[in-house]
Structure 1
């Protein structure tokens, strides 16, 4: 498990000491530096890789709010303050939590859980963004998992409780929803043209009126889908 690295920023010595004592008891957390003002905090951010700032709001030189606004890519922030009037600022700045002094260990642990959740969500998002787009899918057909290349698909037809995937010269009737298939297909190559049809943009040979032609097959365009479809082919 990766350590969660944090800094504590507060102009009050007693508040700094209390936060340091509390945070040091949280498993998996490491305090990199304890700062008495925003200038020291800025230097810490230049020196360390910081995941979280415990940031007091009312400080001399530069307030916590102004300091946060000055950061281009800030870490996660937990505001610590004796004043609840700044809660709206915390919301607008997307801080993780807003802790009112005197801070209890129970409230601090709740904030720590929110931090862990934010970090987990960010890691999942990064993995999703890094995952290469597949050029195929597997579907269950007659007790087998059949690999189908997206480039081989002409169109997909919804048939009550089944979906028929039409390729050149063959088709696969499977038990799956249109929505689940639509989510698997690359949106750059496929489009839904009515409730019961998804077509490959590459496979389209002609469009006339409210009809799409794929070879000898004619597929009607639903009225709810026509504007989006025509926008795509007019690009």
Structure 2
């Protein structure tokens, strides 16, 4: 799951730091950085914003007034230099309250909580899903149940779909990116530019690899934080 976020602060250094942190977290997509609430409004009109990180006290409009004016309420993380404003922040149902200067480990903990909150909210809003998909293979269309999938392997312009009880994978002329958007995000996760795995089939996770039964697959640094965040929800 990708989280669309906006950062709002009248301090450019604070924006630079948050932008740098966001780039290190694969599931965060920075839609915009804004120097005040007023300049953020157009992005909320044109995009679905899942998370906003903002200072509580800014000149033109208070964070409280700004959040109350939004039609669709995003998850909120307050980032401020004022440690006496925590109560005001949590009265707005904030996910977390970060005190400047923000260390990366606190930022990461806060966005992991936001990820869990947003995932739960989106899951509740979704209608009942199919538990299968159809793929085009050599000369036929094959039905595959999600529960039968062990992992998917991307190879340039096609994908191998490895099943639990089959030594021979299905091959289809669809990219791994295509399946990343089609498969249910609460059941499958990308761990490498070449692999998407079934979370249900994971036995062991180490720093650089994931074990699915007797199959060991590499887990790249780029996707590791995302995997840890998902696993953390289930601990």
- 1:147-203 per-position Cα deviation (integer Å, ceiling 9, x unaligned): xxxxxxxxxxxxxxxxxxxxxxxxxxxxxxxxxxxxxxxxxxxxxxxxxxxxxxxxx
Q: TM-score scaled to structure 2, two decimals?
A: 0.52
The CA RMSD measured in Å over matched residues stands at: 1.6
Partner of 1:84: 83
Contact 2:56 2:89 in 1 (8 A): no
Shift in Å, 1:131: 4.8
Structure whose CA Rg is larger: 1
Displacement of 1:13 in angstroms is 0.8
Work out the CA distance in 2 between the residues paired with 1:36 and 1:64: 13
- What does residue 4 of structure 1 align with? 3
Which residue of structure 1 aligns with residue 123 of structure 2? 124
Cα distance in structure 2, aligned partners of 1:45 and 1:91: 22
Offset at 1:62?
0.4
**Pair 1:27–1:131, CA change in 2 (3 A):** closer
Shift of 1:47: 2.0
In 2, Cα distance between equivalents of 1:123 and 1:75: 12
Measured against aligned partners, the alpha-carbon deviations of 1:56-115 in whole angstroms (never above 9, x if no partner) come to 111111021221122232211111100122211222211111111000100000011101
Change over 3 Å in CA distance of 1:111–1:39 after alignment to 2: same
Q: How far apart, CA to CA, are the structure 2 residues paired with 1:39 and 1:6?
A: 16
Q: Which residue of 1 aligns with 2:57?
A: 58
CA distance in 1, matches of 2:3, 2:92: 21
Q: How many residues align?
A: 129
User: Structure 2, unaligned stretches of length 5 or more?
Assistant: 130-235
Q: Which residue does 2:38 correspond to in 1?
A: 39
Question: What secondary structure does 1:74 align onto?
Answer: coil
Report 1 or 2 for greater relative contact order, CA contacts < 8 Å, sequence distance ≥ 6. Answer: 2
Superposition deviation, residue 125 in structure 1: 2.1
- Correspondence list, 1:64-213, <5 A: 64-127=63-126, 130-131=127-128
Post-superposition Cα deviations, 1:192-227, rounded to whole Å, max 9, x if no partner, equal: xxxxxxxxxxxxxxxxxxxxxxxxxxxxxxxxxxxx
Alignment partner of 1:68: what SS? helix
